[in-house]
Amino acid sequence: MLRTWKSVTAGITSIIAGLIGIGGGAIVSLMGDFVSESGGIFGFEPFGVPTIILGIVAVVGGIFALRRRVWLLAVIGAIFAIPCMPVLGTLAIIFVTLADEEFASRAAVEAGSK
């Protein structure tokens, strides 16, 4: 099983995008309530919670990419990183797909078929 920089880079970019999503979702949730009470634009609170959930899934997918375990979960985490931070999420998807042969689940499937 090869070990290259691609899965590490994918994991780091996915984790960073996820953390940005979690922080941004928390800010939107907290500040949306404050702005609506002060008479400004209201209704942003519901956008915060889904962004936090997207960020959490992106962080979990990034951890799987760093550990080179389950390729599908790493891809799902990279996909969920796109709404959080589009540039980093796109890079995470590219690097996860390029590093698919490094993951343990892929290596186990290929070893079983030989």
Query: The tokens of 97 are what?
Result: 């797909």
- In this predicted model, what pLDDT tens digit does every residue of 9-36 receive, in sequence order? 999 999 999 999 999 998 888 876 666 5
Ranges in the chain, pLDDT < 70: 1-2, 32-44, 105-114
Dist CA 65 CA 102 (whole Å): 10
Is 112 exposed, middle or buried, given 0-12, 13-18 or 19+ CB atoms closer than 10 A? exposed
Question: Considering the entire predicted model, what is its pTM?
Answer: 0.82
For every residue of 22-55, DSSP letters joined together read HHHHHHHHHHHHHHHHTTSS---HHHHHHHHHHH
Domain ranges, ordered by start, for the chain: 5-113
Task: Give the CA distances from residue 90 to residues 67, 80, 99, in Å, rounded to whole numbers and listed in that order.
Answer: 20, 10, 14
